[in-house]
Amino acid sequence: MRSGRHRRATADAGLWKGLNPAMALAAKCVVLAFVLAIVWDVDAAGAVFGRIRDWIESTLGWFYILVVAVAVLTCVFLVCSRFGRIRLGDDGSVPEFKTSSWIAMLFSAGIGIGLLFFSIAEPLFYFDSSQTAGYPNNPSADLAGAVLLDEQRAMHAMRVTYFHWGIHGWSVYVLVGLCLAYFGFRKKLPLTLRSALHPLIGERIYGPAGDLVDLLAVFGGVFGIATSLGLGASQMATGLDMLLGVDPGVVTQVALIAAISVAATLSAVSGVSRGIRILSEWNIRMSLLLLGCFLLLGPFQWLAGFVASSLGEYLWRLIPMSFWIADDPGEAAWQNGWTIFYWGWWISWAPFVGTFIARVSR
């Protein structure tokens, strides 16, 4: 049962049904004010964000590395301990979605648009030894100043790509999803980030402290969504330019972002069981079809061996890569531009994707 304070804070009918009207309005106002401030002076906003980014990279880079590494270790502990057997729902309940649909929704919501872009761009960037911020300055690949064969360079490129898109990022998502699912489905608390603080502050999660946590989660999610939409729109605009000669400028990208936003809104309004599930399943089917084309039309035996070898290389070097912190300026520039960026991106998406993971994992 929901507490009385939660019932009073959540609207039971009307436009705000199921929501906290004060929190919803506050989040909208903060996001709107933020967007208007950027539009008012784009150059000044860019300069401010640049200074903030530089400060984070120079001061808190080690913290990002440590937080994500601890997230991985925590997930490993939970899987191997008795806590891994706790059901995310009432005792005796059965999963709401079949396993294939659940996996499809996880991948589509978690890494869909980003993976399609960076699965090609990132390893190619590492592979291209002419990039000054790429392979030669990438100490995680042990290639500083080395001249290696193409296959060796490809192996290292895939290893670092697995590192950025593999266990570490998903561990961040999983921790948030586990917290929300446990307190939401086992303790019957709201399926929002404030519920994770219930063991620490109790019923005060329904007060200003809880409101602030949810507001920060919304604000962080906006940054994550903006990054993904920007990258995805840029990718699609470039593709349209190459295929149809469409101008890949700002107008095209804004139109693509609007179209994606409308499609995402319609999918969300239709519900998880219908729109989101169906779109996710078709997304995975098309991705598997694309993968099949690569395997069947390419050198299958070499590709299979290369994937196995690169995965083994990734797992073998997983711990050293997880805790490596650059001190050389050239190495730090690479780590800030790639690893720190990725960890910040995963963390910013964690409240949004974690909530979704919790919702579909009951």
Spatial CB neighbours of 112, under 8 Å, sequence gap ≥ 6: 283
Q: How far apart are CA 196 and CA 184, in angstroms?
A: 9
Q: How far apart are CA 352 and CA 4, in angstroms?
A: 26
Which pLDDT does position 66 carry in this prediction?
94
Which pLDDT does position 143 carry in this prediction?
45
- Give how far the C-alpha of residue 99 lies from the chain's centroid of Cα atoms, to the nearest Å: 21
Which pLDDT does position 238 carry in this prediction?
84
Q: Count Cα atoms within 13 angstroms, Cβ side, for 214.
A: 24
Which pLDDT does position 15 carry in this prediction?
55
CA-nearest of 131, 233, 362 to 141 is 131
Q: How far apart are CA 332 and CA 340, in angstroms?
A: 10
Phi, psi of 17, rounded to the nearest 5 degrees: -55, 130
Phi, psi of 126, rounded to the nearest 5 degrees: -65, -40
Which pLDDT does position 71 carry in this prediction?
94
- The torsion region of residue 298 among left (phi > 0), alpha (psi -120 to 50) and beta comes to beta
Which pLDDT does position 74 carry in this prediction?
93
Phi, psi of 265, rounded to the nearest 5 degrees: -65, -45
Place of tokens 């990725």: 342
Which pLDDT does position 134 carry in this prediction?
42
CA-nearest of 268, 277, 352 to 98 is 277
Q: How far apart are CA 272 and CA 79, in angstroms?
A: 27
- What burial class does residue 138 get, using C-beta atoms within 10 Å of its C-beta: 0-12 exposed, 13-18 middle, 19+ buried? buried
Q: Tell me the pLDDT of the chain (362 aa) as tens digits.
A: 455 555 445 656 555 555 677 777 877 888 888 888 888 888 888 888 888 888 888 888 899 999 999 999 999 999 898 888 888 877 777 888 888 888 888 887 777 666 777 778 888 888 875 444 444 445 444 444 445 567 777 888 888 889 998 899 999 999 999 988 888 888 888 888 888 888 888 888 888 888 888 888 887 777 777 777 777 788 888 888 888 888 888 888 888 888 888 877 777 777 777 777 888 888 888 888 988 888 888 888 888 888 889 899 899 989 988 998 888 777 888 888 889 988 988 888 888 888 888 888 87
Predicted model pTM: 0.83
Which pLDDT does position 144 carry in this prediction?
43
Delimit the domains of the chain by residue range.
4-10+18-360
Q: How far apart are CA 199 and CA 240, in angstroms?
A: 51
Task: Kindly state the DSSP code that residue 165 receives in the 8-state scheme.
Answer: H
Which pLDDT does position 284 carry in this prediction?
85
- Sequential DSSP letters for 166-216: SHHHHHHHHHHHHHHHIIIIIS---SSGGGGGHHHHGGGGGSHHHHHHHHH
Which pLDDT does position 223 carry in this prediction?
76
Polymer length of the chain: 362
17: helix, coil or strand? strand
Q: Are 311 and 161 in contact (CB under 8 A)?
A: no
Q: Are 61 and 336 in contact (CB under 8 A)?
A: yes
- Sequential DSSP letters for 46-79: HHHHHHHHHHHHHHSHHHHHHHHHHHHHHHHHHH
